[in-house]
Structure 1
Amino acid sequence: MEVPALASYTVVLLILVFLPLRASEDRLVPGRPLSPGSTIVSDGGLFALGFFSPSPNSTTTTTPAANGSRLYLGIWYHGIPELTVVWVANRETPATTNSSSAAAPTLELTNTSNLVLSDGGDGVGRRVLWTTADVAAANASATTTAVLLNTGNLSLDHPADTFLPGMKIRMSYRTRAGTRLVSWKSPGDPSPGRFSYGGGTASFLQTFLWDGPRAVARSAPWTVLSDRRYHQQGGGAVVVYLAVVDNDEEIYVTYSISDGATRARYVVTHYGEYQFQSWSGGSGSSAWEVLSNWPTSPGCNGYGHCGAYGYCDETAAPVPMCRCLDGFEPPSTEEWNRGGFASGCRRKEALRGCGEGDGDGFLALPGMKTPDGFALVGGGGRGTLDDCAAECRRNCSCVAYAYANLSTTKCLVWAGELVDAGKLAAELGSDTLYLRLAGLDATGPQLSDVYSFGVIGGCNWYKEKLQYHGLP
């Protein structure tokens, strides 16, 4: 059996600290393995590491166990009555203790600074279920200890279904590899499920909610370096501070939360929602409160719901509506009236050509979630909005552009159909999309209200410029 390992990571999941050997509740030391029934608690008391046996009767409640037919090593929130697991080491290889001859599973820190999870297997020899990479062997000593921090650091570089404050959702420009949160298969089965959250191999600056290989929903691209989101909880508010870090190697988003809201997380549920949850421990009841969920329903913010050149208007009341971008119309008004948006919208007037004085222009559409399928130009953080416009104007295939406030690129451009655009209700996270239209009067309307109906329920000439980002 191939042993799961984390060979690509340079950070050992439990922080390996070279300190004098001593026993402590927040650390693991060589020669003193962790067994079922025992836990390691972080110094601040926020997280606990130990063995648990899943319960099929709740989406979040599991049972710490000294024995059971299937045991997993995980991290959960410490000190709350509803045991909520945020990370699982052996998701696909549970420890088994259903045989009288099988030895109990253990987590050990070896003298070579590896963490090894094993069980008794068939009783003949111990079976390795999970191990960290051998990244610290060169510095190994008998005084190595593994410390569980109050950040839940075991989950930081290799998450399960939960995005904790301080973690990073990252994408590498060179390898196209990225962080992916993966749901549990069911409340009683922590093995990888259908749904996941993270970037796409060809789409940087944005994240997706996936159902297997199919995109369910897409975020607005990360074109700003910071953001704030407010969530109301009971009589107070939880503020999420988002930060985007962009360099030559990777781009990632991380977040922190307001003081006093120490137990909060984003999680991909087994039924396909990406939720922001905060623990409500007030008088009378204690439970996880869902402060936001994505995608929302009813609405039209599912991936590509409004078709090519259509967009989901989240500002419409009483529910979001599919509309055509200005200068476009449905190919069949009857089909749109029946709620059929798959065919999208078509241009009212064909583009006239490239260059100056040809009659084409760009219409500014503010407050937009810009479409999927963009390419990045203007590497090195150079360029202005006018440079971005000129780049798009001189290429016949460019149908739209947007300007980004990032360090490695300043210009997003689109060629071909515009898919999964939106009009956002909040200014934060929105951008101005500059749409190429024929015979455009630059002082004309911003967004057309024609053909709007309620809903219930990269191109070859960019390839050379995009090599530094590894885009197709």
Structure 2
Amino acid sequence: MASHQLLLFQLLLLLSSASHARDTISPGQPLRGNDTLVSPGAGSYVLGFFTPPGSNNTYVGLWYAKVPVRTVVWVANRADPVPGPVERNARATLSVSADCTLSVADANSTVVWSAPPAPGAGAGRCTARLLDSGNLVVSDASGHVAWQGFDHPTDTLIPGMRVGMDFGTGANMTLTAWTSPSDPSPGPVVAVMDTTGDPEVFIWNGAEKVWRSGPWDGLQFTGVPDTATYMGFNFSFVNSAKEVSYSFQVANSSIVSRLTLNSTGAAGGLLQRWTWVWAAGAWNMYWYAPKDQCDAVNQCGPNGVCDPNSLPVCECLRGFAPRSPEAWALRDNRGGCARATPLDCGNGTDGFALMAHAKVPDTTAAVVDYRAGLAECAQRCQRNCSCTAYANANLSGAPGHRGCVMWGGALEDLRVFPNFGQDLYVRLAAADLDAAPSKSEKKAHVIIAVAVSICALAAIIALVGFFWWRRKRTRARQSGAPSKWSGVLHSRTLTSEGTSHGADLDLPIYDLETIAEATQGFSADNKLGEGGYGPVYKVLKFQKQFISSFEASGNRHFRSCKEV
């Protein structure tokens, strides 16, 4: 009895705490060090104070409510912690003032971090509310957003959070890796959207470019071609006068996924997509970048092409040769490649060679027109002597309206993929248009040739099989032999469970083709009459077979019809 009372008390305590779980703070009602905010609705997120393992500081962070392994996805005061572990900071506070300023203070009410409101906000009573999306939003009495956490991501992107630039608010939304697993302060590794030219995401480690996403082609980033194989995700890329941003959503609320930047990896920067596997109770790495040698920025130098499936991985574009053959022989490809033959744009003899399955070059300095088509793009590039390559900008658009990207000068950070990628058209002198294709071009040609050969062989086999079948069937008919579908399909005695109808149910069963052939297609000339069992036809072919079968069954109705 006592144990039952204890269980009941614990249940009531749990229900009481759940009913009092709040999602909002207001002036005079701060969030204290031993309290939390829980997002409404599905209750997916918790906001509260925490201390990372191995640290001696306290931070305000956001983590998943239902994932048993605490995984912090956002930190407010990452560069300005409250000294001491969370166990000794029960009196620390997260508060919002009447003018919509959000702040974190220690036990002595000393403010260690604050977020001022946007200009024009702060009319009336302000509140800070944790939404079910995980976004902490500060708003005034009129509903004007004074500040929101999603405009200030830390190292992790969760559904609805953006990477990019909001030109309206001035928010530059970047991911910045933690300094270490025990220190969430901003480290040197940053993922940022470069909005110049055709926008793309870069990972920087200090002043060094670590990885480039490639531009968004209307479906995916050209440097992340396997995005098309993802299941359960919806990706969004906005490129307008108001903002340039990338974000994602999950198709099902049961999918828990995050995109995290950390400072590990061979190049000192790694972007990873994690999904929570409920059955295993663990995080699973769904995707990561950089993946291979060719994901490193400009691995093969200007006008060089990186192919991870070739040895060596670097080669020059068709019509180009290594600037330093000696360095190239030692696989020092930093110098890249130079043209074998100078261009002759003035006489209009230059042409363009197709490079398939490409991650297009760095578009930072590229010229983009999203309204033009590929044909117009080719004409513009042909007329512009400084244009060295062109490609479509948006593969999801209607034909003729897929945009135009044009490059001038050297082509930087080129690579190819086995099955994905984009078509790139590279300007060459007339003498180099007929030159031997590069290894990557040969590989693409081989893949196409093999695919065409397989399709042709399959078509030939199908045709041969069809004509063989037709010939066999024709011979069978000419010899008078029954076809595969003629004759009796099966002859069996019909029975009825629980009743007995005697000989009435002892009927042989014939297929429709046999009966139709025997009655000349149920011809009216062969119709003898109609009775209670339907029309009766005389049989011209297989008559003996029909009569003997029915007589053997002893069917009285057939005998009466025969007598007639």
Which TM-score bucket, shorter chain as reference?
0.7 to 0.9
Structure 2 counterpart of 1:383: 372
Q: How far apart are 1:448 and its partner, in Å?
A: 3.9
Alignment match of 1:191 (pick from 185, 191, 199): 185
Alignment of 1:141-180 (within 5 A): 141=125, 144-154=126-136, 155-171=149-165, 178-180=172-174
CA shift digits 1:129-153 (9 cap, x unpaired): 1224155744322xx5432122111
Between the aligned partners of 1:99 and 1:385, the Cα distance in structure 2 is 59
Give the C-alpha shift of residue 278 in structure 1: 0.8
1:418 matched to which residue of 2?
411
In 1: Cα distance, 2:391 partner to 2:341 partner: 22
Give the structure 2 partner of residue 80 of structure 1. Answer: 67
Change (3 A) 1:330 1:393: same
CA distance in 1, matches of 2:335, 2:112: 52
Match of 1:250 among 218, 243, 247: 243
Contact 2:63 2:71 in 1 (8 A): yes
1:131 equivalent to 2:115? Answer: yes
1:410 to partner: Cα distance: 2.6
SS at match of 2:28: coil
Secondary structure of 1:391's match?
helix
What is the alpha-carbon distance in structure 1 between the residues aligned to residue 184 and residue 88 of structure 2?
26
Structure-2 separation of matches of 1:174 and 1:103: 38
Check whether the contact 1:162–1:265 (CA below 8 A) recurs between aligned residues: yes
Q: Over alpha carbons, which structure has the higher Rg?
A: 2
Does 2:300 align with 1:306?
Answer: yes
Match of 1:347? 339
Deviates more, 1:404-413 or 1:441-450: 441-450
Change in Cα spacing, 1:230 to 1:370, as seen in structure 2 (3 Å) is: closer
Q: Distance in 1 between matches of 2:312 and 2:158?
A: 30
> Is the CA contact 2:50–2:86 (under 8 Å) kept in the aligned structure 1?
no
Partner of 1:63: none
Task: Provide the rounded CA distance (Å) in 1 between the counterparts of 2:53 and 2:253.
Answer: 30
- Name the counterpart of 2:385: 396
Q: Is the 8 A contact 1:376 1:412 kept in 2?
A: yes
* Deviation of 1:230 (Å): 5.7
Alignment of 1:336 onto 2:331: no
Kept in 1: contact 2:366–2:405 (CA 8 A)? yes
C-alpha distance in 2 between matches for 1:273 and 1:328 = 33
For residues 138-171 of structure 1, give each alpha carbon's deviation from its aligned partner in whole angstroms, at most 9, with x where no partner exists: 4322xx5432122111342110000111122223
Contact residue 362 and residue 413 of structure 2 kept, 8 A: yes
* 2:425 equivalent in structure 1: 434
Corresponding letter in the other structure for 1:151: S
2:37 is aligned with what amino acid? I
Q: 1:30 aligns with which of 27, 31, 35?
A: 27
| Distance in 2, Cα, partners of 1:446 & 1:239 | 40
TM-score (norm 1): 0.75
CA distance 1:40–1:337, shift in 2 (3 Å): same
TM-score with structure 2 setting the length = 0.64
Structure 1 residues 345 and 45 mapped into 2: Cα distance closer, same or farther (>3 Å)? same
Cα distance in 1, alignment partners of residues 165 and 217 from structure 2: 15
- Alignment of 1:294 with 2:289, yes or no, is yes
> Where is the strand percentage greater, Structure 1 or Structure 2?
1
In structure 1, give the amino acid aligned to 2:380. E
Q: Which has a greater percent of helix?
A: 2
From the superposition, tell whether residues 46 and 84 of structure 1 become closer, same or farther in structure 2 (CA, over 3 Å).
Answer: same
1:326 aligns with 2:304: no
Q: CA deviation at 1:411?
A: 2.2
Report the Cα offset of residue 190 of structure 1. 0.4
- Residue identity matched to 1:369: K
- The DSSP-based 3-state class of the residue aligned with 2:375 is helix
Return the letter of the residue paired with 2:133.
T
Structure 1's 165 and 382: CA in aligned 2 closer, same or farther, altered over 3 A? same
Contact 2:52 2:182 in 1 (8 A): yes
In structure 1, how many angstroms separate the alpha carbons of the residues matched to 2:289 and 2:164? 20
Q: What is the letter of the counterpart of residue 189 of structure 1? A: D
Q: Structure 2: how far apart are the matches of 1:382 and 1:230?
A: 25
- Report the alpha carbon displacement of residue 98 of structure 1 after superposing the two structures with TM: 7.9
CA offset at residue 261 of structure 1? 4.8
Could you tell me how far apart the structure 2 residues matched to 1:322 and 1:289 are? 33
SS in 2 for 1:390: helix
User: For residues 98 and 169 of structure 1, do their structure 2 counterparts lie closer, same or farther at Cα, with a shift above 3 Å needed?
Assistant: closer
Q: In the alignment, what sits opposite 1:207?
A: 201
- Spell out, residue by residue over 1:16-68, the C-alpha distance to the aligned partner (whole angstroms, 9 max, x if none): xxxxxx96522223322111121111121211100011113xxxxxxxxxxx9
Q: Unmatched 5+ residue regions in structure 1?
A: 1-21, 57-67, 453-472
Question: Over residues 150-202 of structure 1, what are the superposed CA-to-partner deviations in whole Å (9 max), with x where a residue is unaligned?
Answer: 21113421100001111222236799974210000000000001211112364
- SS of structure 2 residue aligned to 1:404: coil
